[in-house]
Amino acid sequence: MERVDFNQYSSEALEQLRRGAFLTVKAGDKVNTMTIGWGSIGFIWGKPIFMVAVRYSRYTYELIDKAKEFTVSIPLKKDLKKELAYCGTKSGRDVNKFEECNLSLVDGQKLSTPIIGECEFHYECKVVYQQAMEPATVDEGIKDGYYPNNNYHVLYFGEIVDTYIWD
Amino acid sequence: MERVDFNQYSSEALEQLRRGAFLTVKAGDKVNTMTIGWGSIGFIWGKPIFMVAVRYSRYTYELIDKAKEFTVSIPLKKDLKKELAYCGTKSGRDVNKFEECNLSLVDGQKLSTPIIGECEFHYECKVVYQQAMEPATVDEGIKDGYYPNNNYHVLYFGEIVDTYIWD
């Protein structure tokens, strides 16, 4: 495990994020992961921040809203396309994604939320701010494209408390 | 002018952003710039997004809320510490920052908002979503540290429509 500055690999991380990464959450004894293709890395409120967006309808929403923390696991070398496709289309309410995809849960370094052991790059984040999207100020094109049924995202701003390479 | 992918220099841009960058806005014939140290770069709603935060009290707030677009100019080589300090403490309501700091306004490539010619790296952004911060879900430490008087930020999510090096 090699710890790095939160911003050292931002370009590489965002590049892969667009193609797919794992957002993992744990509340009590319930753990789930989902595929995300959106997110941002930045510096806000004097803190390094990873922002993720989760729709109300998601099982992940139920968990993250209780847990107030999450991890983001990014495959930088291994090809996890099949696993990402599966975890982006199935719901953790119906299946155990970790068993189905042979994904291993590894304890987080700073959080009780685990990371996905098959990925090489990880952020551990504690939610310091969250906000449900406000329909009134969303661009019309985005509204038509992504929210025809008002299934909006909640934006979770997580303070990045650890960033590391896991080989 | 060398056009680059929005994400090519994210690490370098975020690194300098923490130290100071210029957020420039133009509404009608009024132009202003302010120093920002916070922001994020990401991919959301299928688009490259630069997020900036502007407090209600700012002159920039009046302008960006009308203009719905902004540019971010980042000094990568030139030392603009003095100019950043000035533009972060004075208000464009009281002074003409461009004259006082000898900062030159250069026409934007895609937007009517100009960029700061003394900086080497630029993002041009069209606001596709904005949201005033919701006090109820802000972490207590952040609330005490940054919002004792309820002068909250409005978060502006700008689609990055151009990214380039300007030498």
| Total domains present in chain A | 1
Q: Domain range for residue A28?
A: 2-165
Residues of A with CB under 8 A from a CB of B: 7-11, 14-15, 17-18, 37-46, 49, 51, 53, 128-131, 133-134, 137-139, 141-142, 145-146
Report percent pLDDT > 70 for chain B.
100
Give the pLDDT confidence of A95-152 residue by residue, as tens digits.
999 999 999 999 999 999 999 999 999 999 999 999 999 999 999 999 999 999 999 9
Question: Across residues B85-91, what is the average pLDDT?
Answer: 96
pLDDT digits (tens, 9 = 90+) for B129-160: 999 999 999 999 999 999 999 999 999 999 99
3-state helix, strand, coil in chain A (%, to 5): 25, 40, 35
Query: What is the percent of chain A with per-residue pLDDT over 70, rounded to a whole number?
Result: 100
Q: Are strands B153-165 and A47-55 parallel, antiparallel or unpaired?
A: unpaired
Q: Give the mutation candidate from A10, A138, A159 for the B interface (greatest B CB count, under 10 A).
A: A10
Residue A73 pLDDT level (bands cut at 50, 70, 90) = very high
- Within 8 A of B137 by CB-CB distance, chain A residues are 129-131
ipTM of the modeled complex: 0.97
Given the DSSP bridges, would you call strands B153-165 and B121-132 parallel, antiparallel or unpaired?
antiparallel
The mean pLDDT value for A43-70 works out to 97
Query: Which residue, B104, B103, B21, B19, is CA-closest to B70?
Result: B21
Q: Quick one: pLDDT at residue A36?
A: 98
pTM of the model: 0.97
- CATH number of domain containing B28: 2.30.110.10
Type and span of the H or E element at A33: strand A30-36
Residue A34 has pLDDT above 90, yes or no: yes
Please tell me the distance in Å from A26's CA to the nearest CA on chain B. 20
Distance from CA of B94 to the nearest CA of A (A): 27
User: CB–CB of B49 and A39 under 8 A?
Assistant: no
Taking contacts as CB-CB distances below 8 angstroms, the residues of chain B near A53 are 44
**A45, B38: Cβ pair inside 8 Å?**
yes
Which residue of A9, A14, A138 is in closest CB contact with B42? A14
What confidence score (pLDDT) does residue B167 get? Answer: 80
> DSSP for chain A?
-EE--TTTTHHHHHHHHHH-EEEEEEETTEEEEEEE--EEEEEETTEEEEEEEEETTSHHHHHHHHH-EEEEEE-SSS--HHHHHHHHHS-TTTS-HHHHHTPPEE--SSSSS-EETT-SEEEEEEEEEEEE--GGGB-HHHHHHH-TT--PEEEEEEEEEEEEE--
Q: Inter-axis angle of helices B10-19 and A10-19, to 10 degrees?
A: 130
CB-neighbour burial class of residue B15 (10 A; exposed 0-12, middle 13-18, buried 19+):
middle
Query: How open is the CA angle B87-B88-B94, to the nearest 5 degrees?
Result: 60
Which of B8, B9, B43 has the CB atom closest to A18's CB atom?
Answer: B43
Cβ proximity of B110 and B161 under 8 Å: yes
CB–CB of A42 and B49 under 8 A? no
Chain A residues within 8 A of B145 when measuring between CB atoms: 45-46
The neighbour count for residue A61, using CB atoms within 10 Å, is: 17
pLDDT the model gives residue A167: 80
Tokens 């009608």: give the residue.
B28
Substitution target from A41, A55, A137, A161 for chain B, most B beta carbons within 10 A? A137
Residue among A11, A45, A141 whose CB faces B7 most closely = A11
Cβ(A133)–Cβ(A154) below 8 Å: yes
Residue B27 pLDDT more than 90? yes
